[in-house]
Amino acid sequence: MKKIGLLYLSVFVLLCFSNITWGQIAAWDFTGVGTTSLPTYAATTFNSNLVSSSSLNLITRGSTAAWSTAGNSFRTVGFKNEGISTSNTDYFQITLQANTGYTLSLSTIDAKFGGTATFYASPGVTSQFAYSLNGTTFTLIGSPVQSTSLTMGQVNLAGVSALQSVAAGTTVTLRYYASGQTITGGWGFLSAATAGTNGLAIGGTVTLASVTPPTVTTTAVTGITSIAASSGGNVTDQGSASVTARGVVWSTSASPTVPSANSTSNGSGSGVFTSSITGLTMGTLYHVRAYATSTAGTSYGADVQFTTLGPPTLTT
């Protein structure tokens, strides 16, 4: 009985983990809209760790996919029978971007459609999605699908490597292209008359990004006098966040740290920097090392030792 109980518990945990890890991160329920002009529409489901400002939670239209009247839908009479091409300007578009500190991975696209019967008459409407990470260059996903069905077969995005672990600051743009059997028939995403049916839904994850501190090296100590010296460092990698402070830290004890020891402030970001070390005592052994700080933490370069010049040696 204990083994059975543990088995059920394991299955329950696995199912819960699956639901948390992969799920619906953005969706559009068009119930109650579409009978008046609808150039854009905000997502009705939107993950809280996605950027919603700057219209990033909207579904929008290409320049030749103008609004057309139809209840509970987001549609156009702009789709034609010209085939699928990323150069077409008759498309629907959505954008997704992870908040700072998170990464975005996409897994699925689900959609339901409605339109003029002649537009999706046999052999049906040809549909295909495309993606872009710069908003300019688009790549078609999979192959075009031609069907008379008003429920699209789920599009699998998990195998598209470019759409996995997309860092904050990068916007994923998805476009839907369609080509039907007429040049004027209406076509678009459709929800039910009663709320609860999404016309378009995107599956995926928005997860905490791995925290990687910066990488910094310490440069050799030069220009040593009795009271001063020069050192510095090189931030070779900023890690998962921008370096906001850098410099050197020194002490008569090994492995000095900020803020317990003396330090310099030499700007921010990556690259080489030079630091002036002053206020030293003559004839004394010191330890110095470079540091770099970001929201991911503070990193240090190697501990470098040097001795200041002492009093001159008297000769006879």
* Whole-angstrom distance, CA of residue 79 vs CA of residue 149: 17
Distances (CA, A) of 159 to 102, 108, 132, 140: 20, 10, 15, 13
Other beta carbons within 10 angstroms of residue 95's beta carbon come to 20
139, 105, 142, 92: which is closest to 25 by C-alpha?
105
Quote the pLDDT of residue 315.
Answer: 54
State the DSSP string of 123-139.
T-EEEEEEEESSSSS-E
Query: What average pLDDT does range 74-101 have in this prediction?
Result: 96
255 CB-side CA count, 13 A? 1
Is the confidence at residue 165, as pLDDT, over 50?
yes
Q: Tokens in use for 17?
A: 């983990």
Is the confidence at residue 258, as pLDDT, over 70?
yes
What percent of the chain lies above the pLDDT cut of 90? 82
Query: Which of 25-29, 167-171, 303-307 is the least confident region?
Result: 167-171
Q: What are phi and psi of 161, to 5 degrees?
A: -60, -35
The sign of the CA dihedral 259, 264, 265, 267 is negative
CB 26 within 8 A of CB 202: yes
Quote the pLDDT of residue 241.
Answer: 82
Is the confidence at residue 91, as pLDDT, over 50?
yes
Question: pLDDT for 298-316, tens place per residue?
Answer: 999 999 999 999 975 555 5
12 vs 93, more confident: 93
Q: What are phi and psi of 87, to 5 degrees?
A: -85, -10
Sheet with strand 187-190: strands edge to edge: 73-76, 187-190, 113-115
Query: Which of 2-11, 158-167, 208-217, 250-259 is the least confident region?
Result: 2-11
The angle at the Cα of 34, spanning 28 to 39, to the nearest 5 degrees, equals 75
What percent of the chain lies above the pLDDT cut of 70? 91
